[in-house]
Structure 1
Amino acid sequence: MVIWADEILILLQKFGFNEEAALNITLLHEKLLQAKEETVVIENPEAKQLHFESLPSLKNYSSGDISEWPSLKKVTVNHCPNIRKFGLGRTKSVILKNQSSLGDIFESWDDWFSTIGEYEIDDTEELHKRMHNLRPLHFTNIVVFRAKNCDEMLTEFIYILMKRSKKLQVIEIQCCKTSGYLFDLLDRTLMDKEFKYLRGIKELKLIEVYHMFLLCSWYVPEYFDFKSLEIVHLKSCHSIKFLFDPQSFSTRLSELKELKLEACETLLQVVEYSEYSLSFPRLSKVELKSLSKFRMFSERDDFSSLKTLIIEECPCLEEFTINQAILVDFSGPKDKTLPELDELRLDGCHLLLYVASFKTPPEKMKLKKLFVSNCYALKMVISKSTYPTS
C-alpha cells in the first residue's frame, strides 16, 4: 500500500500538481483502496434450496461477493444470530427460525437500484448518499451512467460499476473531479487476470473532467479491454496530455468509429509514445478543435477507414503522424495513407507546411471536400513529393 501511495504522489507532482494537492489526492486514493465493497459476481444457476442451521459465527455467505441464485426456491435459516444480508435475489420461500433480527435477509430483485438500466447523479451530495447506501445487487444491470458536479469519489463509484455490471455501455461525465484516473482498480488484492473490465463499453463522453491526467491506470493495463468502444468525446479536460496509452489499450481499438477532442489545453498527442502500437481500422471521423499544444496524432498510423478529418485551432500541429512533413502522405505504402478520406478541413494550423503529397496518379485520392484557412506557414496545398518539415 505504501509503495503504491509513494508512486502516485511522485506521478501527481510530475504532472504539475503542487505538493498539497498531490498529497490530498494520494490520501483519498489510499482511502479508496481500503474500501471493502462487494465485487465479484458468483452465479449458482442450478441451486434450488439453501439450509443454514446452528451457525452462531456465520456472518456472510462469501467474502464480500455478490451471489446470484436465479433458480433458488427455498431458503431456511435457523439460529444464525450474526448473519447479514446475502445478495441472493428473489426467492419463493424464506423460513426464518430463532432469528432475533434481520427479517429481510435476502435482498429482492425488485429493488429499484438492482434492476435499473440507466442512472444519473447530479451532484456530490447525491453521490455520497448513494455510496453510503450501496447494497450488494445495486447497479448490477446498469447500461448507461451519467454524472455531473461530483467530487473525487466518482472514481470509486465508477470502479464499483465496472465490477458489478457486465452490461455497462455508456459513460457520460460533466463538471466532475477524479483522483488522477477515470478508470482504476482500487482493490488490487482480489484481482483476477482472466477478468477484463469495460469489455462492453461503447460510448465515452467527458466534459470538464478535472485532475484526470490519464483515462485509466497504467499500473494495471492488462485488466482493461476496450474492444467494443465506438465513440470518444472529450471537451475541456485540461489535465490530460495523452488520450490513449498503448499499453492500456493494447487490445486494439478495433471498433472505434468517432473521436472528438476539443479545448483540452495540455493535450500533446492522442496516442502516447510507446513501444506498443495501436491501430484504428474502423475510425471514420476525427475532430480536433482548440488544442493549443497538440502536436500530432500518433507515431504509427492505421487510418484505412477515415473519411472525415477536421482540425481547427491547433497552432502547434506539424504532422498527423510521425515522419510526415505534411498532414496526409499519399506517396507511402497503401496502409500508410488515408485511402478513404472524403472530407478534410483545416483552420488555424500555423506550423503546417503542406496539406497532401502524392507520387501515384491523382485518381488514388478520393477527397471530395477540402477547406484550408488561417494556416500561416502553409507553402503548398498539394505536393508531388514529400518535403522536410524545416
Structure 2
Amino acid sequence: MKRIIGNFSYVFLANITNALSKFIYLIVITKFLTMKELGAYTLALAITAPIALFFNMKMRSYIISNDFIDYKKYSNFRKIANFISIIIVIIVSCLFYIDIIWIMILVAISKLIEINSEFYQAWPNKEKKFQLPSKLMIVRTLINIITFTFVALFTKDLIVTLFINILGQLIMLFIEKKINLNLINLDIYKNEKLNYNLILLTLVPLGIVQALMSFSTSLPKFLLDSISNIESVGIYSAVTYFMTIISLFMASLNQTLLPYIKKVYKENVFKFIKVINIYCNLFFLVLSLIFLVLTFLFGDKLLSLIYTNNFAEYNYILSICAASVFFNMAGWMYDSALLLSNAIKYQPLFLVISMLITLGVGVILILEFNILGATITLVIFQFLNTLSKAIYFNLTIVKTRKVGRKY
C-alpha cells in the first residue's frame, strides 16, 4: 500500500502539473493575446484531439496491462501512426479550417509529442517504475510553461509561441526517450508471434473509442463555432477546462492503479466488481458534491482571479461542471474495468449512440441558450456515456461468471 501511494503521488503530481500547464496556456492567451486567438486555440485543440487520440489508441494503458507485446513492433507502429495523423490534420485543416491551419498543425504536433512521451513512459510503468518518468514529465512541463509564457508575452503572437514551444518539447522528448528506455531491459519485450495486423486489430477499437469520446466531448465547441462565434468557443473552453484537470487526475490514478487492479481482477472477480461499482462510485459522488459546494461559494471569484472580471458571469458553467464530476470520474474507472475484462467490442457502438443523441439535443440547447446550452449538452453526453459503460461492464461480468460456472 505504501508503494502504491508513493507511486501515485509522483504520477499525480506529474499529471496535474501537465494539466495545469494547459490551464496556464489558456490564462496567458486570455491575458496577453486576444479572445479570437483563445477561440482559435481551443477550437484547434478540440478538432485535433480526436485525430491524435485515435492514433494514440490508448497504447500506454494497453502496454501496461497486456503481456503479449513487442517493443520494436509497437515503436514502428507508433511512428507510422504519427505520420498518418499529421497528414489527416493537414487535410482537415485545408478543407474546413484554412483560416487557422497553422494553429491546427502546430497544436497537433504538440499533442503528438505528448503522446510519444506517454509511449516511452509506458515501458518503465509496466514494471511499476513510476518515479523517474514522472519527474521527467514534471521537468518537461515546467520548461514548456516558462517557454510558452515568455514567448507569448514578448511576441504577442500565438503561432510563434506554439512553434518555439514545440522545439522545446522535441528536445525534452529525446531526453525522456533515452532515460525511460534505459530503465528497463527491452530485450525481454520481444514476441515473434506478434504481427502488425494483430496490433492493428487489437488497438484500433481502443483508438476508435478514444476518438469518439474526444469528439463527443468537443461537440458543444463545434456547435458553438457553427451556431454562435469563435469567441464563445474560447469562453466555454476556458471555463470547462476545470473538467479536463479532473480527467487528467483520473488518468494519473488509473495509470498508477492499473497494474494492481489487474491483479485484483485475476485473483478475485467478486472483489473487483464491488470495488468498481460501490466503493469507487461513492468516492466520486462525495468529490462531486465537494466541488459543487466550492463552486457555489467561490466560483465567480475564482474565474475573475484566474482569467478576467468578464469571466465571473460564467460561474454557472463551473457549477454545472462540478455537479458532473461524478459522471466524468466514474466513466474513467469503468473504462479501465472494461479494458481489464477485455470488454471493448461494443464500446464504439455505445459511444456513437450517445454522440448522436447528444448532437440532436445539443443543436436545440445551443440555439436556445448559447454557452449554457453547450454546458448542459456536455453533461448529457457524460451521463449517457457513463451509464452505457456501467451497464456494459456489469452485463459482461455476469456473462463471464455464467460461462465460468459451466466449466
Which structure is higher in strand share? 1
> TM-score if structure 2 supplies the norm length?
0.22
> Max radius of gyration: which structure?
1
> TM-score if structure 1 supplies the norm length?
0.23
